[in-house]
Structures are given as structure tokens and as C-alpha cells.
Structure 1
Amino acid sequence: MGSFTVKKVQALIKDGTPGRYSDGNGLYLMIPRKGTPYWMLRYTLAGKRRELTLDKYAQLSLAEAREQAVEGKKAIRRGVDPIEERKREEQATIHTVKDLFTDWHQDLEKRLKHPRIPKRIFEKEVAPSIGHFTLNSVTPMDVRAIVRKVAGSGRPTIANDTLMNLKQLFNHAIKLGLLTYNPASAFNVNDAGGIEKSRDRALSLDEIRQVFKIFQANSDSFSRENYLACALLVVLGVRKTELTEAQWSEFDMKNSQWALPQERSKSGVGIKIPLPPQAIVWLEELKVRACGSAYVFPNRRSSKTPHMGKDTLNRAIAKLFGREPGKKKQPQNRMGEIEIFTVHDLRRTFRSLLASLGVPGHVAERCLNHKLKGVEGVYDRHDYFEERKIALNKIAETISPLVNTQKN
């Protein structure tokens, strides 16, 4: 019998300290720095020390992990290497690019904090073109066609990410002995989105006034929901999807608070956001417009997602700048001389407003739901709720006169 009990394993996982914890007999609970805890079997065969990943803790109980460890040890005593055996089994089931991605994604779930991002890119940008191809049939021309298509739709960052993912995906096939050549290896960022410039775009107060006037003047293409979403992003400083995918159950209007849950927060940390009076007014209007939906921004079209789509706001803003991806005839530029901006630049605008209003750096960082770094982050568990409330109220007072909230 090993040294673990179910309670001890649960306590180690709750504590979350990265490390390798032994149950004895070669079985270890692995708690990585990023990703989810998993079971691992260590063994020696032919004088070589090897490590076999069994499964994630969530999928395998302590008793099941011990059972698998015993089976693995029995195989080793017969001279069978469990790692080689698994490779053979996997090779038999990996035929297409989609099969390969499914296998690779299991590794990503252990290593990455946000494994759903490469999954989303694969499903949207890669799978429709080559997901059903057998591995040996994929050519560099196929890779180029995918990357060009993404870059041509005006998404340079996604184009670069798509290329990077394809390189890693086919490297995974080489590791498994399924391919000897990577069809994506010769391409670089210049073939995809090009070198990405670090953005520092923030809107001035005068630009905010002009932009919201233009939003309102073009209400036929820029909906009232889009308008209010942008107003809330400038005043609350949250990330786009944190707002556009929000549910009414997260809001306590009576106490002017929004509890952003951990699982929806990009930083992986839940936070209570104080809501200024003006934000409450906008949210109350959105509640009426939601017509009983559980979502603050329900999707108006029949779609897989019940909430506003990820690209909706950026597309609506780009259209006002005379840019509409995928259309030959481009719309008229309604923004005049205003320098182009994206939805994320509204968050940067919020940060620069905090600085101009004299909000201390550590409070501003918590307003953005950034983890505090270094010693301050370790010792200062105080969430600065009252200080953030004062800061957000100041921003709302500054922004409200510039945002003409008269309904369209």
C-alpha cells in the first residue's frame, strides 16, 4: 500500500505547490507550475530511467492510478516498455491531422494555462482545410494556403499563432515517428502576419468624445449593445470577452458589484468589480434589451454561442474605419482622421486614464485584475476594493459627459 490517502492527495492539490510527490512503488502525483495535476509512473528498464504519464488527476482516482502502476510494473518485469507500447497503440489510431491534434492537445492540457486557445485556432483556421487529410498527404502549399487565408482576413496575430501551432503540431508527429518531415518548418512570421508591433494606442478624452458621437451617428451598423459595451469597457477596464460573455447571475446591482468568476477571468483569478452609478444605468438598459436572456449581451443571430461573438466588436469598429475583412468592396471610412484602434485599446485607454487621475500603480494593477508581482504580490492579499471603487467612480465621472448616452 502506498503512502497516500485520498485526503492527503486532495490536500496536496488544494495547496497547489508545484512538485513531484511519491506514493511509493514508482507512482508519483505531479503538480506542474502550469496546467493540471496528473499521475506519473517512474521506472528503470535496461539501465535507463523513464517516466510514463498515466492520466490527469481529475480522470484517475488514487486507487485507479495504483492499479495502472501495478499493471505497468508487471509489463516491465516481462521486459515490455510501457512507453513504447503506448506509442504503438497511438500510432494505430493517429491517421489524420485531426487525430494528430487530439493527441497533441492532451500534452498541451498539462503544459498550458489556456489550452483552449490552440484548440480554437485549430478548429476555426486549420481543421476545415486539412483536418481530414492523412498526415503524409499534407504539403507546404497546404500550410501556406491556410496561413495566407488568415493573414488576408486582417488578423496578423492569429496568422502568426496559426503558423506556430502548425509547426508544433507536425513536430509532434515527428516525435511520434509518424512523419520524417515538417511541412510547416520552412515558413516564418514574414509568411504569416509579419512582425507584430507592440501596441501603445490609447484614446485621448477628445477622441473618446468624437468616437462615441460617430458610434451613435452610425447606429444602423453599430448597434446600441455595441455602443454600451464600449462605454463599459472604457469605464471598467475589463477584457473584452470577460464583459461580452458575462451572465446576469454574476451581477449584484443592489450592492453595485460584479463578481467576475475565476473560470472566466483571463488571469485565472476571480475578482469583485465595483460598479460606478453610470455603469449601473447602462447595465439596467442592457437588462431590458436582453429580453430575459441569461446573458448581458445575448447573440442576436442563431449561433453556436449564446452570447456576443468574439469578433463582433472589433469587426463593428473596423467597419467604421472602412475595413471589412472578407469583402471586396470596402465600406466608407466614418472615423475621419482618428487613428485606428481596436477593442483592446479601450482597456489601454482605461489604464492611461487611471494614471492621469493619479491612481497609485498597485491599485491600477488590481483594477486591471493583474496579479501583483514580487514581494508585494506574495504578502499583500488585500484586494483594494474601496480604493478601486473610488478610482472607477472617478473614471466614470470623467467619461460620462463625453459619452452621449441618449438612446438610439
Structure 2
Amino acid sequence: MNDKQIKAFIRSKEVGRKAVSDGLYIRVQTAGIASWEIRYSVNGKRRFMTLEGGQYPHMSLADARATAAIARQSIIKGSDPLAERAKLSEEKIHTVDDLFDDWFVDAKKQLKHSEIPLRIYTKEVKPYIGRLQIKDVTPLDIRNIIQKVAHSNRPCIANDTLLHCKKLFAHACKLGLKDGNPASHFKPADAGGAEKSRERALSVKELEFFFDVARKNISSFGRDNYLAAALLVSLGIRKGELFKLTWREVNLNLKIWKLPQPRTKSSVAISIPLPDTVVSWFEELKIRGCGSEYVFPNRKTSKNPHVSGDTLNRAIAALFGQDSSKTKKPLNRMGDIPYFTIHDFRRTCRSLLAEQGVPSHIAERCLNHKIKGVEGIYDRYDYFDERLNALNLVANLIDPIVNGN
């Protein structure tokens, strides 16, 4: 058929398809609307496929013949155009965001703390390459990301970001979406450098100074942050255990906090005895919570109903004049005291327990550390009363400092 005959066929308002040449067909489905198709056979079965973008007259007869010729060459080599098209339509992993979503499905099942890679990807990676096509990501992109984090004075996060980039693009290579991992050649030295174990623990004098400064700047530091710091020092708990705490876990009448297994790093549930001083802080937090199910509810509009540990870290950083979220750099109100983070409160609690003469195995149980070796296997005693006495010693030391007495 030539172009004149094709137009005549369309004007006839006849519905159906007619052969044009060499497996190329013109098909009219409704009056006046026609599209190009090719016919081919795979495994003895005849198949028809509409050419992509092949509506007549947008695709001319000459273009349709050229497209059909290319398709026939692919078929001769053993390809099935319809199967290839179906595969492409089902494939939904195109961008780095798509890749992370696919990887995170299994990560949530395999990782106990899957919120860590989610937070790192969302804050450190997604803003820069989330919308890029996977094939377009280069090692230079990875270097820019980890250097931005490192230059923000967060070396550990820079190393974690590099680690998760390696895992993410290893997943892309496994799925055949990328030939090489753009993060594979980078090492911690290119990100945050070798990590050193922190040994920072605050002395009693440093605690007195810190709480005094925080109290004098309570309008900016925040009363919730103030009480959170007091609890972290007094109980030696982890920030994630505290800030995700709900009132269902706390019984103020029995003076006990039942921390469930899914929320502990050690994968062991623990009943934490609460000294009277600590109970009074919880009672204040309950009033301040205004009926929230969380002990530390999020005061701002956010997906998370509870505050983040970063909130307290930023408040502490501001006292040291290191709040990067402020356009105007705040004053350093902590003087010559060495910088510390939230996790240093936990180490401080452990040091205070030792200073009060608490036996090592009791102090370790207070922090819900796993006891190593044979002792850890056979010693299943909970030491609840002993832990209560130990935490009371620390609370009695901390109480006048926190309450400004």
C-alpha cells in the first residue's frame, strides 16, 4: 500500500488492519484513528505489536517502514519486542530514589535499626542525587556527598554515609542496573577518617557547670531538653530508648520503666527501676506532654510524633556556639569545658556508678550491657534491687545539680 491507499482506507471508516509491506500493517480501531503495527512470529506463535509513537499521520509511512525494519533485525537475532516492552514497563527502578526504596524493603527485614540508613539517605544523599538516573551517578557525585558531610564536622556520619552508598549501589549492580559501584573505591580516609573510640565522661564539676548554664538559658535550651539530659545522666540509657519512650512503658506508681526488647540495642528487655527524683521529673514531663502518648512529643509539625535525639544535640551544640542551623553564630557559653555529645551522658553515668563503688557487673546491668563470656551465659539474675540501689546513688548525686541546689 502507498500513502494514498492508506488515506483512502482510513476514510472508508472500515475497522481492522491491512498489510502495507514486509510485516508492516496499518490498523484502524475507531473511525479516523489509525496506528502502525508489525507482525512477527516467536516460537511458532504469531504476534502483533503497535509501534511506539506510531499513530498515523504523526508517524509517516517512510518512518514506519524504517522502524519496522529495525524491529525485524532485532527479531532475527532472537529478540521478542513485546516481551522487551513488557519488561521495560514493569521495571520501576530508574532513579536513585527508586533504587533506595527497592533496597530498603529487604533492609527493614534484615537490619534491627533500619531507621539509621533511612535517616542517612534522606538527609545526606537524597537531596543531591535522589532524582538522578542510576546510570548517571558518578564517583564524583559520591565524593561530593561524603565531603559535604565531613566538612560539617560529622566524621562518623560521613563514614556511615559512604558505607550506605556502597551498599546501595552494590544493590544496583546486583540487579544489573549499573555496571560498576561508584562508591567502591572510596575509603573512610576519603570521608570522615579513622574513627576513634570516645572516652569523654563529664566530671561532677562539669555537670554542675553544664546544668547551670542550661538553666540560665532555659528559654533557648528548652525545659524538655533539660529534663532529658538529667534522665540520660541518671539512668545511663541510650537516646533512642528515651526519646521514643511512650507512657505505656512507664508505671510511676510502681516506679518502674519496662523497656521492651525491640527498642533495646542489646535485644534484651529490661525493667528499669526509677529513683524518686527521676519519678518527679517524669511527673513534670507528663504534665508538659498535654496528653501525648510519648514522654517527649514532637512540638513541631513532623512525620515523627516524638522528638529526635538531634534536638538535644543541637541544643548542646548551641551552648558551645556551634549551632549550624543559625545564621548568626551563637556565643560559646560553656567556656573551656571540652565539647560533649548526648552519648557522653551514658558514659558519665557509668563513671559515676564506678565512683559510688557500684560493682562492675551491677553497673553493666544498669546500662543493659550484655555480660560477656561464661558469666553472661549462666548468670540470668536480674539484679533489680541492686540496680535500684545503684541508680539511687547516682540520682542523689545528680538531684541537687539538676534542681539548682
Amino acid paired to 2:383: Y
**Secondary structure of 1:317 counterpart:** helix
CA contact (8 A) 2:212 2:404 kept: no
Mean CA deviation greater in 300-309 or 316-325: 300-309
CA distance in 1, matches of 2:260, 2:376: 20
For normalisation by structure 1, the TM-score amounts to 0.74
Q: 1:214 to 1:275 in 2, by over 3 A?
A: same
Matched, 1:98 2:97: yes
Unaligned ranges ≥5, structure 2? 1-86
CA distance in 1, matches of 2:330, 2:109: 45
CA contact (8 A) 1:91 1:178 kept: no
The residue that corresponds to 2:314 in the other structure is 315
Mean CA deviation greater in 113-122 or 364-373: 113-122
The residue that corresponds to 2:129 in the other structure is 130
CA distance in 1, matches of 2:269, 2:91: 43
CA contact (8 A) 2:321 2:333 kept: yes
**What are the equivalent positions in structure 2 for 1:4-403 lying under 5 Å apart?**
92-109=91-108, 111-403=110-402
**Secondary structure of 1:336 counterpart:** coil
Amino acid paired to 1:380: D
CA contact (8 A) 1:367 1:388 kept: yes
Question: Structure 1 residue 109: deviation in Å?
Answer: 4.3
Deviations 1:203-246 (A, max 9, x none): 01111111110110111211111111111111111001211221
Question: Structure 1 residue 110: deviation in Å?
Answer: 5.2
Question: Structure 1 residue 111: deviation in Å?
Answer: 4.2
Count of matched residue positions in the alignment of Structure 1 and Structure 2: 319
CA distance in 1, matches of 2:290, 2:111: 38
CA distance in 2, matches of 1:401, 1:135: 57
CA contact (8 A) 1:246 1:296 kept: yes
Q: 1:256 to 1:182 in 2, by over 3 A?
A: same
Amino acid paired to 1:92: E
Deviations 1:168-202 (A, max 9, x none): 22122223332222222232223322222210000
CA distance in 1, matches of 2:94, 2:287: 51
Question: Structure 1 residue 267: deviation in Å?
Answer: 2.1
CA distance in 2, matches of 1:264, 1:234: 19
**Secondary structure of 1:400 counterpart:** helix
Mean CA deviation greater in 252-261 or 142-151: 142-151
Deviations 1:105-143 (A, max 9, x none): 344345433333222222232223222221111122221
Deviations 1:250-296 (A, max 9, x none): 11111110111222222222211000010011111111111121111
CA distance in 2, matches of 1:119, 1:337: 36
Amino acid paired to 1:385: F
Amino acid paired to 1:161: D
CA contact (8 A) 2:147 2:191 kept: yes
**Secondary structure of 2:272 counterpart:** strand
Question: Structure 1 residue 326: deviation in Å?
Answer: 4.3
CA distance in 1, matches of 2:299, 2:102: 36
Question: Structure 1 residue 90: deviation in Å?
Answer: 12
CA contact (8 A) 1:154 1:325 kept: no
**Secondary structure of 1:401 counterpart:** helix
CA contact (8 A) 1:213 1:404 kept: no
Amino acid paired to 1:237: G
CA contact (8 A) 2:232 2:239 kept: yes
Amino acid paired to 1:330: K
Amino acid paired to 1:311: D
Mean CA deviation greater in 270-279 or 153-162: 153-162
Question: Structure 1 residue 321: deviation in Å?
Answer: 0.3
The residue that corresponds to 2:68 in the other structure is none
Deviations 1:66-101 (A, max 9, x none): xxxxxxxxxxxxxxxxxxxxxx89993432222322
CA distance in 1, matches of 2:335, 2:357: 32
CA contact (8 A) 1:170 1:183 kept: yes
RMSD: 2.0
CA distance in 1, matches of 2:329, 2:120: 26
CA contact (8 A) 1:323 1:330 kept: yes
For normalisation by structure 2, the TM-score amounts to 0.74
Deviations 1:346-367 (A, max 9, x none): 0000001111111112111111
Amino acid paired to 2:304: T
**Secondary structure of 2:400 counterpart:** coil
Amino acid paired to 1:179: K
Q: 1:92 to 1:255 in 2, by over 3 A?
A: same
Question: Structure 1 residue 151: deviation in Å?
Answer: 2.4
CA distance in 2, matches of 1:296, 1:97: 36
CA contact (8 A) 1:150 1:156 kept: yes
Question: Structure 1 residue 333: deviation in Å?
Answer: 0.1
CA distance in 2, matches of 1:99, 1:225: 38
